[in-house]
Amino acid sequence: MIVVALLVGYLVGSVPTAGMLGLMWGVDLRGEGTGNPGAANALRTAGAWLALSVLVVEAIKGYAAVTAGAWLGDETGAVAAGLGAVAGNVYNVWYRFGGGKGLGISLGVLAGVWPIVLLPTLGVLVVAVLISRSSGIASLAAIGALVASSLVWMVNVWPTGGVAPGALLVVLAMGMGSLLFWKHWRDSPLSGSHHPASPSPASPGRR
């Protein structure tokens, strides 16, 4: 059932909702801005409402995947489905294994599996953005904080609000980190190949 949970999570995560929402706003997120079907590019190309819509829907997908995984295989199924959902978002079969950067759906996965760490991780992300002025560096900092937190939680057996503290948290954090790392590294100044995209002005018809 764990393999089934992983596949279900992948299918849920791969539903191209960001692209669909973009088209409802009259925006082709794959063809404008950075070409990334995610909240950051939605903000760049069409504004805050589309970005918020994309973020919320992606988070709901992550939470839904975890819920389905828990039904299929308890805590292990929940973690497997959560990792599958992140993989489906980042390496999306409908986008020829391209896709988003996985942050929105990761928030939903954490809300379902490990909600108590969600706000601290978001705090690290926001502080790192303010200090570095780079979303890529901030995302890498949040990934690092999540992996470190999983080890601290496992050692101290602190409550998670979701799955039991232990090796599953480490698997979740390291799995998510591995899936998210490359795209955020590539888009950070640390990679040496970062070229910020110029914002695409929204047309008068966009909301």
Cα(193)–Cα(186) distance, integer angstroms: 7
Q: Helices 118-132 & 103-113, crossing angle to 10 degrees?
A: 150
Instruction: Please give the single-letter amino acid code of residue 166.
Output: G
| Dihedral pair phi/psi, residue 98, rounded to 5° | -90, -165
What is the pTM for the complete model shown?
0.88
pLDDT per position as a tens digit, 37-63: 888 888 888 889 999 999 999 999 999
Reading the block at residue 34, the tokens are: 């950075």
Cα(194)–Cα(190) distance, integer angstroms: 8
Instruction: Please give the single-letter amino acid code of residue 154.
Output: M
- Which range has the worst mean pLDDT, 90-94, 134-138, 161-165, 187-191? 187-191
pLDDT per position as a tens digit, 188-203: 787 776 544 444 444 3
